[in-house]
Structure 1
Amino acid sequence: MTTLIDDRRVRARDASPARQFYLHMALACAATAFLGFAPTYWLPLAHRTLAASPVIHFHGLLFFTWTLYFVFQTWLAASGRVANHRALGIAGVSIATAMTIFGFLASVHSMTHSAALGQAYAGVSFAIVPMSGIAFFAAVFILAIANTRRPEVHKRLLLLAAVSILDAAIARWFIVFLAPPGPPGPPPVPVTIAPAVVASLLLVVAMVRDKRVEGRVHPVYICGTLAMIAVKVLNWPISETAAWHWFAGGILAMAQ
């Protein structure tokens, strides 16, 4: 009986309006992901005009599954179903692991595709964008799992992880509405910085909420946002180094 009463108290506390914030943020991430890929993935897929390899399709399936899983998990937490939220945590570990693997495979596939177009150098340079992105996501997710007993840190890290992979979706709108027509192939690495900055605005919203509700901005948001933007900016100079081309070029050579 005591356990039941305690569980009800936890539900009542966690179902407060302030706890709904993370559910709203998860929904915003999901909307950004699905709308972002609508013009270049969902609509062509619906019209059967999309030509993509099975690796790319499975990569997309995993990432969209993660987005829906993130919404569901935040809904469970927001509604006070903490036990269910924790029980499903192992599923998140499995999805994130598969995302990391197929994110890497999708990067290798993009390099081989670029090489087939005669743009091997550009493909190897651009590979740093998806590879560093999935590495950042994996690192933040691992930190979130390591901090499950610190919910204030855990939930902020998971939001950071979710936002960190939205730049690809936002970039699709840049491509559709801003990019001039050009030959097929990977875009220049510097153009990926702007979508990452736009994605980080979701974290700015979270910081404003922290300041208003908690009285201070949590260090996870400050350090995490700075680290995320730093990775995107540093991709540019690193992508042109001999060391990167030796590393990624070696991967491309093994894949061909």
Structure 2
Amino acid sequence: MAAVGFWPTYFGPLLRGTLQTVPVIHFHATVYSGWLLLFIVQIVFASTGRLALHRKLGKVGIYYGFGLVVVGVFTALSRFASRVQAARLEEVSLPLAPIAPLSDMIVFPLFFGAAVLYRRKPEIHKRLMIVATTILLIAAVSRMTFLGTPVPLPVFLVVWFLPIFLAMGYDFITQRLIHPVYVIGLVGLFILRLRNYVGETDAWSDISRWMATFVS
């Protein structure tokens, strides 16, 4: 899903040698792609019974997960600072602060932190990890222009929630269970998606102007 969403604007041009972007974007893409790879490896270890390896790598994953938050916030503020400086040079209105990545970096650590706390309860831990990682896919889905420009909200939610829907379907087929972690996760993700409306308010404009004084 991440590769599909970012293919037109990042991975495709990168492979063709035509991508022009700043180093912080490459760093961000590398770190976040690494997280998805780590997540897949951990699923393989857990599902094949290699739990000792899963736990050892999980210790690294704890630092990696919280490192994602640092990288995400740094990248968002770095790009915001560049836009603020450009706006002042061109004497145009200051841009709005990037509510999307900043709100992602508030919600992701909530679910990831809960997953860390429940790491000794695998039935809860693994589901929290699925929800936390699904949060990070929101940026990829928003770039799937083949779904519409902008992507219609119902379509957006179905595509974004797909990993959780698949996991819920697996639970229901194998255990006749709909785990509350997934229900809470879906509610949390839906609320997160509403940040677009917050970004259009006067209050967010005021916050953006306040933030601009610190990043430029």
Report the TM-score, using the length of structure 2 for normalisation.
0.87
For 2:177, the equivalent position in structure 1 comes to 216
For 1:75, the equivalent position in structure 2 comes to 44
Say whether residues 1:53 and 2:22 are aligned partners.
yes
Distance 1:113 1:150 in 2: 44
Distance 1:241 1:72 in 2: 41
Say whether residues 1:158 and 2:129 are aligned partners.
yes
Instruction: Return 5+ residue gaps in structure 1 as ranges.
Output: 1-31, 180-186
For 1:253, the equivalent position in structure 2 comes to 213
Q: Percent identity?
A: 31
Q: Does structure 1 retain, via aligned residues, the 8 Å contact 2:147–2:155?
A: no
Instruction: Return 5+ residue gaps in structure 2 as ranges.
Output: none
Pairing partner for 1:94 from 31, 48, 63: 63
Larger radius of gyration: 1
Pairing partner for 2:148 from 178, 198, 212: 178
Distance verdict in 2 for CA 1:214–1:119, change over 3 Å: farther
Distance 2:173 2:105 in 1: 32
For 1:107, the equivalent position in structure 2 comes to 76
Of the two structures, which has the highest relative contact order with CA contacts closer than 8 Å and spacing of 6 or more?
2
Report the TM-score, using the length of structure 1 for normalisation.
0.75
Secondary structure, counterpart of 2:143 in structure 1: helix
Aligned-pair CA distance for 1:192: 7.6
Deviations 1:5-43 (A, max 9, x none): xxxxxxxxxxxxxxxxxxxxxxxxxxx112221221011
Q: Does structure 1 retain, via aligned residues, the 8 Å contact 2:45–2:51?
A: yes
Say whether residues 1:147 and 2:108 are aligned partners.
no
RMSD: 2.3
Aligned-pair CA distance for 1:113: 4.1
Figure out how many residues of one structure are paired with residues of the other and give that number. Answer: 211
Structure 1 stretches of 4+ with a deviation exceeding 4 A read: 190-194
